[in-house]
Amino acid sequence: MTQSFFNKFNGNPFLRIICTDYLDLEPFIETEITSFLKSHLLQTIESITPFSWHQIIRGDNGTGKTSHLLFLGKIIRERHSPDLIDDYIRGIEDTFKSPFHLLIHLVERLNESIPNQISNTISMSEFQKEIKKILKERRYFFLIDMPDSLNKKNLDDFLNTLEYLIGIPNISIIIALNIAHFEKSFAYSEILKKFNTDINLRSFTLEETKNLITERLNTVSPEPNGLYPFTEDAIKIIHKVSFGNPRLIITKCDKLFSSAFFKNIKIIDYEFAENVLQKTHVADTLNQKIPDPTVRKTLSDVYFILKNEMSGSASTQKQFVNKVKEVGLCKNHITILKKINKLVELKVILKETDPEDGRSFIYRCIV
C-alpha cells in the first residue's frame, strides 16, 4: 500500500482482540437499546431506597451481548464507589452450581468472613438472611454472560440457584443469553418471568453500520476522516453480507482492509468489496459452521451452481433443484432441497417469496 495511505492509520482497526476490558471491544455505538440499559442502570444506582433491577439481554451470536454487559460494568466502575460492585460472570457452572457455592462466591467477592454453621443444603430464607447481612448498604450487580455451550444440568442448576437471589434488595441481575437458552429456560423454570424486562438485540441499521465503521477507523487514525478508505457503496455491501450483525461487520471490514493493504488498493469501493467478499464470505461461513469437510464441499458446490450457472438467482425452487441435478452434483430432490435450505439457514443465500404470486420462492446469492 502506498506510504500516504499507510500513514493514515496506525494499524488495522478491524483486527479483533480477545477482550478482557470494554476498551478492547469495537467502539460501542449507542443505540436505543444501549440508552435504555444505561438509563435503568443509573436509575438503580441513584435510587435513594433499596432497589433491584433484573434484566435479560438476548440475541444471536455477534449481536453484542457481551459488549453490553461490559459497557454496564464500565459505567458502574466509573462511579468509583466502594458501595457499588459489578461482578462479571461467565463460568456459571461453578458460581451457580448451588446456592451454597453462590454464597461462598459472594462472601469472597465482598471480602467478608464465611458465616458459621452454613451447610451445603442452605435454605432460601437462610441464604437471603446471610446475604442481606454481608451486603449491608452496598449495591451488587451480577452481569451474567451465559456461555453458548451449556448442558441441561448446568442450566437447571443456574435457574434453581437464581431463584435464591430474586427479591433480595440491592442485588440486581443482568443476564445476557442466546435465543436458544432463553427459550429452553422457560421449559425448565418460571424464574425468568420474574425479571423486570427482556430485550432482544437487533441487527444494526445501515446508518449504525456506518457509525460503527467510522468509530473503529478513528481508533487508529491520527485525525477523524469519516469512512475513508470505504466508499458509501462498499458500506452497503458490507451491511448486506453481514446482515447488520456487529461482529460480522467487523469481520468483513477486517477482510477488506487487510486485502486492500496487501494489494495496494487506496479506496475500498463496491467492486473491490464485492470481489473480496464473494470469495471469502461463503468459505468463511462454511468453515465456521460446518465441521465436516465433505458436507462443506457439497454445500459450496451448490452455492456456486447458483452463483455461476444461474447468474446468482433462481426464479423458482424447482429451477434451482433441476440445475443442481443437471450439473450432476446430486440426483435426489429431497437431498438437494435439504442442502439448499441449509445454505439459507447459514445466510449464504437468500430465500424470498415471489412478489408476483406470493407462493413460490426466489433464491439469490448474498454476494
pLDDT over threshold 80, residue 334: yes
Give me the helix-helix angle, 232-242 and 206-218, nearest 10°: 110
Question: Average of pLDDT values for 280-297?
Answer: 84
- The predicted pLDDT at position 273 comes to 94
pLDDT in tens, 190-227: 787 788 788 999 889 999 999 989 888 887 777 777 88
pLDDT in tens, 306-327: 988 999 888 888 899 899 988 8
In the chain, the domains with their CATH numbers are: 1-17+204-287 (1.10.8), 30-200 (3.40.50.300), 290-367 (1.10.10.10)
Question: Average of pLDDT values for 143-155?
Answer: 84
C-alpha pair distances (Å), 191 with each of 116, 195, 204, 209, 228: 29, 8, 30, 35, 48
Contact by Cβ (8 Å): 65, 119: no
pLDDT in tens, 108-126: 999 888 777 777 888 999 9
Hey, how many other C-beta atoms are within 10 angstroms of the C-beta on 147? 13
Looking at the chain, the whole-number percentage of residues with pLDDT higher than 90 is 32
Question: Average of pLDDT values for 299-308?
Answer: 90
pLDDT in tens, 47-104: 999 889 999 999 888 888 888 998 999 999 999 999 999 999 987 888 999 999 999 9
Give me the helix-helix angle, 317-327 and 333-345, nearest 10°: 110
Burial of 316 (0-12, 13-18, 19+ CB in 10 A): middle
pLDDT over threshold 60, residue 17: no
Query: Is the pTM here over 0.85, yes or no?
Result: no
Give me the helix-helix angle, 246-262 and 270-289, nearest 10°: 120
- The predicted pLDDT at position 88 comes to 95
Hey, how many other C-beta atoms are within 10 angstroms of the C-beta on 103? 21
Report the b/e string of 350-360 with b at 16+ CB within 10 A.
bbeeeeeeeee
pLDDT band (50, 70, 90) for residue 26: low
pLDDT in tens, 216-258: 888 777 777 788 899 999 999 999 888 898 888 988 998 899 8
Q: Is 143 helix (H, G, I), strand (E, B) or coil?
A: strand
How far is the C-alpha of 346 from the C-alpha of 360, rounded, in Å? Answer: 21
pLDDT in tens, 168-182: 999 999 999 887 777
Question: Average of pLDDT values for 160-167?
Answer: 90
pLDDT over threshold 90, residue 156: no
Phi, psi of 171 (to 5 degrees): -110, 120
Average pLDDT, the chain: 85
Provide the β-strand partners of residue 55.
174, 197
pLDDT over threshold 60, residue 351: yes
pLDDT over threshold 60, residue 23: no
Listed residue (172, 225, 232, 231) closest to 43, CA to CA:
172
Contact by Cβ (8 Å): 144, 25: no
